[in-house]
């Protein structure tokens, strides 16, 4: 009566999390700004391509 309970050892929390990893830094060379875990990009706010507003002759104070 040997029932083999499909028992694979519980392998800790090794699965990839959906949350962005903490401790990432901007990929811009020489930047090294630490990215927020809520930042799904690879660059910091200053170097993210989409984060650069175009100034149409307006001065941003």
Residue 27 in the binding site for Zn ion (CB under 5 A): no
Closer residue to Zn ion in complex, CB, 18/21: 21
- 15-22 — which CB contacts under 8 Å span 24+ positions? none
**Per CB under 5 A, 39 contacts Zn ion:** no
Q: Is the dihedral of CA 54, 56, 59, 61 positive or negative?
A: negative
Considering only 20, 25, 31, 34, the residue that binds Zn ion (CB under 5 A) is 31
Interface contacts to Zn ion, rule CB under 5 A: 26, 28, 31, 33, 44, 47
């Amino acid at each position: 009566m040997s029932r083999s309970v499909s028992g694979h050892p519980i392998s800790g929390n090794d699965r990839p999390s959906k949350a962005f990893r903490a401790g990432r830094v901007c990929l811009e060379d020489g930047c090294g700004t630490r990215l927020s875990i809520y930042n799904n990009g690879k660059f910091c706010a200053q170097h993210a391509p989409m984060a650069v507003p175009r100034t149409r002759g307006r001065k941003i104070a």
